[in-house]
Structure 1
């Protein structure tokens, strides 16, 4: 097993370990711009109550991992249950009452860069509109193109997920040619 993969596995089980990071490392939850820089801040960040199992439970299902040299990309889905009415990394500024006891399911992409076997950066991406829709913060009224929990099916069942083929849900994506913008010519 490579040094990078071993470090990554340790990160996933104990992200507050300062020994995993370079001196200038950063961790950013991109949709909410929440994160930390440097081993001390990162360790403090991951010791916050938002990462405590008694407050926020994250169940992960891994789908893909690609490593090449000093880089890693992972696709997973997370089922996040909010036992406490706050989760600053997922939904900052959303009211306590809205979050308390809620569960959201989202596809997540993580990218990591390593330097000499240590983590230089971690970026975590998800669709924040889907999170806010599942928390009933964003309206689900007709016409708003937000996919909620259905997004996870693209990872869990890529061969059978119902595709939105340019507005025609009955056709397969391969059979429908995209419309060409006449103004772009």
Structure 2
């Protein structure tokens, strides 16, 4: 997952095995609020290593109390491997020696231990797993009392499809099309066996390989990882929460940006290391310091006094808000983020603008802002619409009134009888 300054408290806890054979370690990451739904994170074959701890911290930032149990403890406690050839060899040895039945008992013990913690809201607990843990997430949906399960590129699920009839909670599976550990025939068996079930989602990601969501890994594919994460959060939130009023959080952020124009208040609505990307001009900032500087010097106090946002539509998802609006202003001051280096022209500008706003937990993580820069340039007099297939304020007016003429650029210059 994306790097971020730590915002959760972490500790190691002991979990009692249900077969009386002892206890084992678990890494516990707490959300900033101190409470939330529970999430058991089932490890890859490399143990509870830095990658798994980073994923736990990431989901803690999303609002979950995350427990990563040491599932290799019966072979060797506290395994933490990297991804060198020697580590791979050791990891496969541990995987081959892994007692799946006992491992699932340990998964249930972890779920139960998490439910008992006072920080876990409503005793709701989900399971999230990667690689080996991806199969364990599938089996958790079949064998445990988990409230929801999400599995990434699980190895060996096709060999356990006879248990699919026992699935008792919502299940989401992320499958890599090019995964050598789940060849096409195995993938097809999984898809066909689970097709049509309202409580199961199987998402196949084209052109990607095993471990496509492991940041820094050989097969990391950012676009697929982001899409999978969005689907994972949707599945988790639907079943166990947490539930935040994302629209209200976004409205408050905009209030600080455009009404009170207070940079520190604006930043207080965001995660520790947010980013903003104005796509057409590539302006914004990545990280707290860069974004604070951008807001202070080039955005919050740089918009013309008559700037207004006219909402057209809003879509609220599990972890993001998409706003369609008109952005209106008179170009009486320089606007570095939209018209860098362009002196005020005094021209009126009205443009359709789209904001894709992503949240982590109850804090804003990023903004992707889109608009038609050509329309802006036409309206301030820097681009001649007679020379290029571009339009000015007409784009904004047609957004409000769909009955206005279509295809005028296509027919420009044609003789009309």
Same fold (TM over 0.5): yes
Deviation at 1:52, TM superposition (A): 2.8
Deviation at 1:124, TM superposition (A): 0.9
SS where residue 133 of structure 1 aligns? helix
Partner of 2:33: none
RMSD: 2.4
Question: What is the CA deviation profile of residues 141-173 of structure 1, one whole-angstrom value per residue up to 9, with x for unaligned ones?
Answer: 25x210110001232112x1211188358xxxx
Contact between 1:24 and 1:37, CA under 8 Å: does it hold in 2? Answer: yes
Q: Which has the higher helix share?
A: 2
Question: What is the CA deviation profile of residues 10-56 of structure 1, one whole-angstrom value per residue up to 9, with x for unaligned ones?
Answer: 11101432221112211111111110122343333223365337845
Change in CA separation of 1:21 and 1:137 when aligned onto 2, cut-off 3 Å = same
Gaps of 5+ in 1: 170-185
Q: 2:378 aligns with which of 110, 133, 136?
A: 133
Q: Do structure 1's residue 51 and structure 2's residue 300 form an aligned pair? A: yes
Partner of 2:323: 74
Contact between 2:390 and 2:409, CA under 8 Å: does it hold in 1? Answer: no
**Structure 1: distance between partners of 2:370 and 2:275:** 14
Q: TM-score scaled by structure 1?
A: 0.77
Q: Could you say which structure has the greater relative contact order, defined with CA pairs below 8 angstroms and 6 or more residues apart? A: 1
Q: Do structure 1's residue 25 and structure 2's residue 277 form an aligned pair? A: no
Change in CA separation of 1:167 and 1:139 when aligned onto 2, cut-off 3 Å = closer
Question: What is the CA deviation profile of residues 47-84 of structure 1, one whole-angstrom value per residue up to 9, with x for unaligned ones?
Answer: 33653378453111100000110011111011121222
- 5 Å-filtered alignment, 1:100-119, equals 100-119=345-364
Q: TM-score scaled by structure 2?
A: 0.36
Contact between 2:304 and 2:329, CA under 8 Å: does it hold in 1? Answer: no
Partner of 1:151: 395
Deviation at 1:7, TM superposition (A): 1.6
Q: 1:92 aligns with which of 340, 355, 361?
A: 340
**Structure 1: distance between partners of 2:309 and 2:287:** 26
Contact between 1:31 and 1:127, CA under 8 Å: does it hold in 2? Answer: yes
Change in CA separation of 1:88 and 1:49 when aligned onto 2, cut-off 3 Å = closer
Question: What is the CA deviation profile of residues 70-114 of structure 1, one whole-angstrom value per residue up to 9, with x for unaligned ones?
Answer: 011111011121222x211111132x2xx2422211000000111
Contact between 1:76 and 1:109, CA under 8 Å: does it hold in 2? Answer: yes
Change in CA separation of 1:168 and 1:103 when aligned onto 2, cut-off 3 Å = closer
Contact between 1:79 and 1:105, CA under 8 Å: does it hold in 2? Answer: yes
Partner of 2:244: 2
Partner of 1:178: none
Partner of 2:313: 64
Contact between 1:56 and 1:87, CA under 8 Å: does it hold in 2? Answer: no
SS where residue 66 of structure 1 aligns? strand
Contact between 2:275 and 2:366, CA under 8 Å: does it hold in 1? Answer: yes
**Number of aligned pairs?**
163
